[in-house]
Amino acid sequence: MAAGTEPNLAKLTIARKIAATSLSMCKRKEVYDPTKSNPKKS
């Protein structure tokens, strides 16, 4: 929680990102491809 984000809000944000990705993949009938993910590099 680097920027002072509360733990419950951080978990909620991550859960929303996972849900959005899963829904998008389901709609497009895609298989997960880790090379498509763009993790932030600090």
Q: Do 32 and 25 touch, CB atoms closer than 8 A?
A: yes
Which of the 8 DSSP states describes residue 3? T
Encode pLDDT of 21-33 as tens digits: 899 999 999 988 8
Where is pLDDT greater, at 7 or 20?
20
Residue 41: predicted pLDDT:
62
Region 1-15: mean pLDDT is 81
Return the SS3 of 30: coil
Where is pLDDT greater, at 2 or 39?
39
pLDDT at residue 1 is higher than 70:
no
